[in-house]
Each structure stands twice: as structure tokens, then as C-alpha cells.
Structure 1
Amino acid sequence: MKKTSVRVPVGAGLAALLLAAGAVGCSGTEDKGSDKAAADMTPAAAVAKAAENTEGLTSLRYRLTGRTPEEGRVEAEAGMQLKPTVAMSMKMKAPDRGADATAEIRLVDKALYINGGAEAAKEMDGKSWIKFDLAAMGADQELNELGGLSQADRNPAAESTFLTAADDVEKVGTETVDGVGTTHYKGTVSLAALEKSLEGEDKATRDQRGKSIEQYEKMGVDKLTMDMWIDGEDQAKQFRMRGDADKGPLDMTITFLDFDEPVKVTAPPAGETVDLAEMMQGAQEG
């Protein structure tokens, strides 16, 4: 194989951002509206209840649309298994960067795979997948501890509790999202308030949420405007976060398709995959 530098059109960096934004899943598509118990709650209590319902989540599927500071418009669909082990599959595209700006990412068996498509295959002897062996890179321990690789994957339930740190949560009204009756809440929260909200949490929670906050800090975001649409079973059906970053606006909306349903992720065929660790070792030996 010739020595090359392969550029994945959308890239692992975008994958990290897409997976950093998220909340809990929805429980179905039937329009149930908001139940009386939810209607009797204060806005802050309703948001806190939805956040509480993230505990014990084993898997979720979601659709993401929005805009990032560097990539412009982005669209993605993903499925993630959280227990008993972490696995993830995501397909994404960045329309503003052209029709070929697409990528697929899989995380399975402590290895991260990125599909660079036809352009990558031209430079890798027809192989379009790149494998990052997390164990070989020393990143598998972090995957075990945090439930996700900090730079290329995140548990999308980790940020569902962020709206609870806002002191201005208010009810916007009732809306139907993907055929599901929901109550819409919104609020604004600073990253300083998010960091303060971690006080008293256990180490794993502080580490997990802290890494999400760190990503926003690196982007230059100091506060987030957040919206949550909660269904009649006190689950978040949709979640949106907006902020002003150093390089432009951030605006992400996640719509949840289901949760706690089986998510199966398989590694790409070996014949279509280049192992980055082996490629780098070969280059060093050469």
C-alpha cells in the first residue's frame, strides 16, 4: 500500500460533536399528549423528571439535524448500545460541503471504524474503512470507565440533564413531534453553571459530563440555549441546543426514534478495512 494521508469527508471530529449533543430516547410514536401528572409539575420538576429517566438506559436511536461552526449543515442517524458494552453506528452528511461529504462511523469491540467512501478507497487500494484499535491506542480503558470514547464517541444521554442547571426553565406550550404529543420547555444555562452542577456528583458522572462541557469550552461557547420536548411518559422526545462559538453558530436538534430496543453493530469486512495501527507500524519499520 502506498503511503498516504486519507481525509474522511465529515470526519471523526464532527462525529464527536454530533454524539456530544443528546438526551434520552422516546418511548414510541403514538400521540399520547402530556399526562395530568406532567401537567401538574413545575417546568423545572418536569425537566428534572425527564433527566431522571435517563438512568438505566441500555440503548437508543436518534436523528440529528443542525449546524456546526465549521461544517455548516449536518444530518445524521445513529443507533447506540450502552449496556452491557458500548457500541455505536452513525451515518452522517454535511450538505454544505458537497454531495460527497458523507461518512459512516462504527464503534464495536473496542475499535472505531470510519468509512471515507470512494475518495478514501482511491488512496487505500480499494479499502474504504479505517480502523482505530482503541486497545492498541491505549483508549480502551477510558471507554470502559466513561461509557464512551471521549474524542470520537459520547453517551448521548450524558447531556440530557444539562437543562436542569438552568434557573429560567419555562413551559413554552404543547406541540406534536413525529406524531407524539409533547410539552415544550426551554431555558438558558452557562457553562459555569453546568460545571457547578457537577458538585456532589460521583466521579464517573463528573468525568463524563465534564468532558462534554470541555468540548463546548474548546469551541468558545460560554452558554447554551436549550429546548426539550417531553412526552406523556416523562421522556424527552426531542432536544435542541444552541450557542455562539468562536467560529460561528452551533445549533443541534436531536429527535429520538426509540430506546431500549436492540441495537446491533458489526465490524466492516476485513477486506475493506485498513488498520491504522498496522499502517503506522509498517511506515515506521519502512
Structure 2
Amino acid sequence: MRRLAPALALGAAALVAVTGCGAQSTGSLGNIKLAAAEAVQQSAQRAGEVTSYSADLVLDATGGDKGASKVQGSLLYQSKPQLATDIKLDTITFGGQNVPGGARAILTGETVYVKSELLNKFAGATKPWVKVSLSDLETNEQAKVRDFMAQVQQFDLAGTVKLLTTSKDVKAVGTETVGGVETTHYSGTFPVAEAAQVIDPAKREQLQEKLSRIKNVKFDLWSDAESLPRKVTLSGSEQNATFNLAASFKGFNEPVQIAAPPADQVGDLPENHRGN
């Protein structure tokens, strides 16, 4: 499982992604005029009602000890009838070094399927996909997979937009078309310490650790006439380290097809990689 953990972390990172009073600026959603802070609140509420969607994601980071990094890919997400995600990372670069073949992770029920050339090399897997079921793992390893599942649930569309509601300076900056849909563009910043207070207490430490060197995160939100968030960008910098995350969303509450890979392409994680 120690070899599998980086692949799971990649999937969680891809979702990373990404509540208040504030500016008096107003923006237009359809024919309704709303204060910018209220519009962000409505977008967060609408995001919380979404049970399925698809997204395109790009994360760029520079500086720090590991140098430049980039993760680019897409995901499908559903929360009902059970949590399921399909994460495709076409580009993965850490410290200027590319991860060959990218990675893909499918989570359905209590099973995670991972496709990664790097994982196969280290784990000695003989099939393109590796399957990990909670029942196959020791108790401490089950906790790691469950933590990954919890991260998927926490850093989803609704969780990301909820962070923005802690902004004290959000304002409307105009209207733009995103993915063929007319949207209102909002911009502002949110304090990491306050944003951590609006998410699940069990995940506050994770958020603060990920953004430990950044006090304020700049964001942009593009919200459509139904207050659905069509695009979110997050960025920050501190001590010569920067990050930029862009996520575009579509297919709200539409059926998604998330299925396990063909059985003949799936192998189990080798025994010597299941425990400590």
C-alpha cells in the first residue's frame, strides 16, 4: 500500500481544488441583482445540491523545494446512489520530471482501481489496472483508503465553493461566457485560517497543512444564471512558492458513467505491497 499511496494522493490532489459578508459591489445573475457576497453564498448553496458533474482541472505550482509541478486532467463525480469518481490525470510533472503515462483512478463503492505505469513498475503488477478493496487490507491500510475517500467527498465542487464564502472583499467584475454559458465573474480573496473553519473539522488540519505558507488565497468564480459555479480558479504565493488551480465544471446533475475496468485488465495489488 505504501507504493499505492502516491497514486491515491495524486487523485486527491487533482480534486484539490477547490462563508460571509463583504463587498457592496453587485453582479447580475439573470434578471436578479445580488450583492457579490450574497451571490457567492447562493453559488455555494447550489453547488451543495449538485449530485453529479464533470470537470476539467489544471494545477500549476512553482518554487519550493521540489521545483515546478503540473497536474492536468479531468474527472467525473457522483455522490448518489453511492460515491464514485473517475479521475484521469493526463499530465503529471513534479520537479520538472514527467510521470510517464499519467495516471487514472476509479473509485466505486469501497474499491479503488488505479492505472499507473509508475505504480506497476514499483509494485510489480502484471495487469494495466490494480484493484484495492478495503477487505483485502490491514486495518491501518484501510484507514488510508478511507481517508482518500473522505478527501474526495470533502474537496468536491461544494466543498471548494464553500471556501469562497469566507471572503470579505469579493466583488463582481463583469460578465463572461464560459463553456458557451453566460456567467457573472466574481473575484476576491479568502483567509485560509477562516476558510478552514467552514469545512469538516476532521479536514481542517489537512487544508491548513496544504496551504501552510499562504495566509490568503485569491479566487475567481464564474457563476451562471442559476447560480451554478461554471469555473473556479484559486491562486496564492508565499516565500517564492506559487500555485494556480483552475477547475471548469459542467454536466450538473446529469447521469455519469463510472464503471470498473474490464475484469481481464485488472489485477490485485501484489501481496508484498498490501501491508507495512
- If the TM-score is normalised by the length of the shorter chain, which range does it land in? 0.7 to 0.9
1:109-165 alpha-carbon deviations (Å, 9 max, x no partner): 21122211388369735322222323433349957xxx9333898433212111110
- The CA distance in 2 between the partners of 1:268 and 1:214, in whole Å, is 35
- The CA distance in 2 between the partners of 1:53 and 1:14, in whole Å, is 27
Q: Tell me, what secondary structure is at the counterpart of 1:221?
A: coil
- The CA distance in 2 between the partners of 1:48 and 1:253, in whole Å, is 20
Aligned residue pairs total 256
- The CA distance in 2 between the partners of 1:120 and 1:141, in whole Å, is 18
Q: Post-superposition shift, 1:99?
A: 7.8
Q: Tell me, what secondary structure is at the counterpart of 1:73?
A: strand
In structure 1, the partner of 2:142 is 138
Q: Any unmatched runs of 5+ in structure 1?
A: 23-32, 199-204
* Among 206, 210, 214, the residue aligned to 2:204: 210
In structure 1, the partner of 2:46 is 53
In structure 1, the partner of 2:7 is 11
In structure 2, the partner of 1:25 is none
In structure 1, the partner of 2:37 is 44
In structure 1, the partner of 2:184 is 183
Higher strand share: 2
In structure 2, the partner of 1:114 is 114
Q: Tell me, what secondary structure is at the counterpart of 1:243?
A: strand
Contact 2:54-2:252 at 8 Å conserved across structures: yes
- The TM-score, its normalising length taken from structure 1, stands at 0.76
**Aligned AA (1:109):** G
Contact 2:3-2:122 at 8 Å conserved across structures: no
* Among 76, 80, 97, the residue aligned to 2:77: 80
Q: Post-superposition shift, 1:279?
A: 4.2
Q: Any unmatched runs of 5+ in structure 2?
A: 19-27
- The CA distance in 2 between the partners of 1:131 and 1:243, in whole Å, is 36
Inter-CA distance 251–214: structure 2 relative to 1 (3 Å threshold): same
Inter-CA distance 192–62: structure 2 relative to 1 (3 Å threshold): same
1:71-111 alpha-carbon deviations (Å, 9 max, x no partner): 62321111011112110001112265448251111101211
Q: Post-superposition shift, 1:269?
A: 3.4
In structure 2, the partner of 1:27 is none
In structure 2, the partner of 1:263 is 256
- The CA distance in 2 between the partners of 1:277 and 1:207, in whole Å, is 35
- The CA distance in 2 between the partners of 1:194 and 1:20, in whole Å, is 14
Inter-CA distance 152–209: structure 2 relative to 1 (3 Å threshold): closer
% identical equivalent positions: 24
- The CA distance in 2 between the partners of 1:123 and 1:208, in whole Å, is 31
Contact 1:7-1:116 at 8 Å conserved across structures: no
Inter-CA distance 125–150: structure 2 relative to 1 (3 Å threshold): closer
- The CA distance in 2 between the partners of 1:152 and 1:248, in whole Å, is 27
1:17-36 aligned at under 5 Å gives the runs 17-22=13-18, 34-36=29-31
Inter-CA distance 166–180: structure 2 relative to 1 (3 Å threshold): same
- The TM-score, its normalising length taken from structure 2, stands at 0.78
Contact 2:99-2:118 at 8 Å conserved across structures: no
- The CA distance in 2 between the partners of 1:195 and 1:122, in whole Å, is 36
